[in-house]
Chain A
């Protein structure tokens, strides 16, 4: 029992990963009233007090609280909330051992590998509308969070975008219009949807394989490269910074002692995802180019 309340001796890399996790918890507050303040207080304490940061009980409590938040909201919680809960649990268990860095390296590698393998399973096997490009064609046209990208890269005007949204509204089962509205899809938009569909799948396969296969130095390099490529590319568009931060934190936890530059790259990527999430870069660029 005492083990759970004794601060562990962590490496600098592990401390940075834990501190960034606490920051991510503060940046995206979550949960009902009876969970939220406790998570925020624990995350704040973890940042301010090194002993709280390195104590297994802090992370075990966070894992339990994230679990309660998922159950309270079931089934509406996003997948990265589950991953956050697993990560907090992995941290708690690793801090209670003597080989913290190796434990965290293993847990984070498996967590990332399994999450990406499942994402690939859904996209390539279980989903009927991903591989044929429908998912991204419809999402770019209908999700308001992708509107700026649809105009900036896809070449749509705002008017075309609105017409498309109307055209994509469902008819009751069996009903058919005499002259159905046509969806406008410029070739740039089709190319964008194609690149998003296949690019995402290929990078996810790379991350899954390189994470689940132990491999040597080359595999480790590929693992970091594919994970960073995924985060740099995906979170410029995908509005889920919390997921990106978590992946980067788990990638950072896999850095070795002498990989200072790589650790710096992960930290830079964490900040870049923060900037992506707060700056409407596509809208600003569109305005600047006179596309709005």
Chain B
């Protein structure tokens, strides 16, 4: 029943604030994990430091809170266009931590040290999702690295 003017108005309004073009992909990536019973960690803080004027200076610190634990990560830009993720689990625990990527890239799994620290190095930019294994496991929303 809309005439051309209605359609023009609505199509212009649609362009005012559309969802990010990759929102569906981010959701589907986050949902494609095996452990559906995992607790969901909420992003609770995000902070950028460094001027970013030189490669390797800019870092981003993100904190995720779940009911059972807190995961804090710092994403550091490397000069070779990869990133390093320095992470920390609280309470401290030598838990297994996985970093998932969109298929077909395989997930990486490492074990945190006894103080809860872990490192993923030489990580490519793009989507990734952290999972801390345990009872229960904890997953983050997908991260745009």
Are A and B interaction partners? no
